[in-house]
């Protein structure tokens, strides 16, 4: 009996462990994490980067997108970039957001920073490379190890990794800056701070609420859209925005009030 009991116990323990196996998950979670990390890394593409303007500035004052001094203020906060042709897209790329990081310089932190396309880079390395960011001094330095922003800026030209990301401006709604040359027959507006895609593929205008007709606006330049009407336009105006990449639409109802003034910025209550 002394020799039989240990064997019986061993068989009992073996079958007990086998019965538990379907409920155990030792390795699947770690494999999923590795798979996700691999997929994340695969999203990064190669490009080039330079910087312009003052070392701690916003590049230029608004540049070719028409954002003016908004580039220096929140939510842009000088974390902006001019883009070569493949990024600027003849102005249709204005407002798009990208993560950018560098690893090839000793001063690079390897951590990504998010920049918004707010200007055009029409020459130099922006034409010689298929994708090129001409970043503000602030954004370029933000890719550096803490305390080494100047060393990184001294490199001048960097090979970087980038990926397109969704824009996210918590608590900020879409803003409409009426062009100074607008009047009752010609209306032009710069549109900024769109969440999601960030850039726009189409903009339509609807006159006072008794009208059901949406009038297509034309891209004037950069982030500016215009409507050259053959008759007097009746405010308030509603504007319908269509995101360039996703095709998502957003309506800002009566965002331009009756009695609107050229040169004034009107904020909506909505965002993508």
> What CATH number has the domain bearing residue 184?
2.60.40.760
Q: Are residues 144 and 243 in the same domain?
A: no
Nearest to 260 by CA among 232, 234, 222, 230: 234
Contact 105, 149 (CB under 8 A): no
Residue 229, domain member (yes or no): yes
Phi (first) and psi of residue 115, to 5 degrees: -125, 155
Last residue of a domain, one of 165, 194, 221: 165
Q: Are residues 148 and 259 in the same domain?
A: no
Give the mean model confidence (pLDDT) for residues 49-59. 96
The pLDDT confidence band at residue 9, using thresholds 50, 70 and 90, is very low
Q: Are residues 102 and 141 in the same domain?
A: yes
Q: Are residues 158 and 188 in the same domain?
A: no
Nearest to 227 by CA among 213, 246, 247: 213
* Alpha-carbon dihedral angle through residues 129, 132, 138, 140, given to the nearest 10 degrees: -50
Residue 133, domain member (yes or no): yes
H or E, element range at 151: helix 149-155
Q: Are residues 207 and 149 in the same domain?
A: no
Residue 22, domain member (yes or no): no
> What CATH number has the domain bearing residue 130?
2.40.40.10
The pLDDT confidence band at residue 210, using thresholds 50, 70 and 90, is confident
Q: Are residues 135 and 57 in the same domain?
A: yes
Q: Are residues 57 and 157 in the same domain?
A: yes
Q: Containing domain of residue 103, as a range? A: 43-165
pLDDT single digits (tens) 177-208: 999 999 999 999 999 999 999 999 999 999 99
Residue 104, domain member (yes or no): yes
Q: Are residues 78 and 107 in the same domain?
A: yes
Q: Are residues 157 and 182 in the same domain?
A: no
Q: Are residues 193 and 149 in the same domain?
A: no
Of 15-24, 125-134, 169-178, 194-203, the poorest mean pLDDT is in 15-24
Based on the structure, what is the number of domains in the chain?
Answer: 2
Q: Are residues 68 and 149 in the same domain?
A: yes
Residue 21, domain member (yes or no): no
Q: Are residues 74 and 181 in the same domain?
A: no
Last residue of a domain, one of 115, 141, 165: 165
Q: What pLDDT, on a 0 to 100 scale, did the predictor assign at position 227?
A: 98
Q: What six digits make up the tokens of 5?
A: 């009991």
Last residue of a domain, one of 136, 165, 194: 165
pTM of this prediction? 0.84
Dihedral sign from CA coordinates of 95, 101, 105, 108: positive
Give the mean model confidence (pLDDT) for residues 119-129. 93
């Amino acid at each position: 009996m002394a020799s039989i009991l240990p064997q019986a116990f061993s068989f009992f323990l073996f079958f007990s462990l086998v019965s538990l196996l379907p409920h155990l998950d030792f390795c699947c979670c770690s494999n999923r994490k590795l798979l996700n990390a691999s997929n994340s890394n695969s999203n990064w593409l190669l490009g080039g980067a330079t910087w312009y303007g003052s070392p701690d500035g916003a590049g230029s004052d608004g540049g070719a997108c028409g954002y003016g001094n908004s580039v220096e203020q929140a939510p842009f906060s000088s974390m902006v970039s001019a883009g070569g042709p493949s990024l600027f897209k003849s102005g249709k790329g204005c407002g798009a957001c990208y993560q950018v990081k560098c690893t090839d310089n000793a001063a690079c932190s390897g951590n990504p920073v998010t920049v918004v396309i707010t200007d055009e880079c029409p020459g130099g390395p922006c034409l010689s490379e298929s994708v090129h960011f001409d970043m503000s001094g602030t954004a370029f330095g933000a890719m550096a190890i803490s305390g080494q922003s100047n060393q990184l800026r001294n490199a001048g030209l960097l090979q970087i990794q980038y990926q397109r990301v969704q824009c996210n401006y918590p608590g900020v709604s879409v803003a409409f800056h009426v062009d100074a040359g607008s009047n009752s027959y010609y209306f032009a507006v710069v549109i900024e701070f769109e969440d999601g895609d960030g850039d726009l593929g189409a903009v339509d205008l609807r006159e006072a609420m008794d009208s059901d007709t949406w009038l297509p606006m034309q891209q004037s330049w950069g982030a500016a859209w215009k409507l050259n009407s053959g008759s007097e336009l009746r405010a308030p105006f509603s504007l319908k925005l269509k995101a360039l990449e996703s095709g998502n639409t957003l309506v800002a109802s009566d965002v331009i009030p009756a009695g609107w003034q050229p040169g004034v910025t009107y904020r909506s209550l909505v965002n993508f």
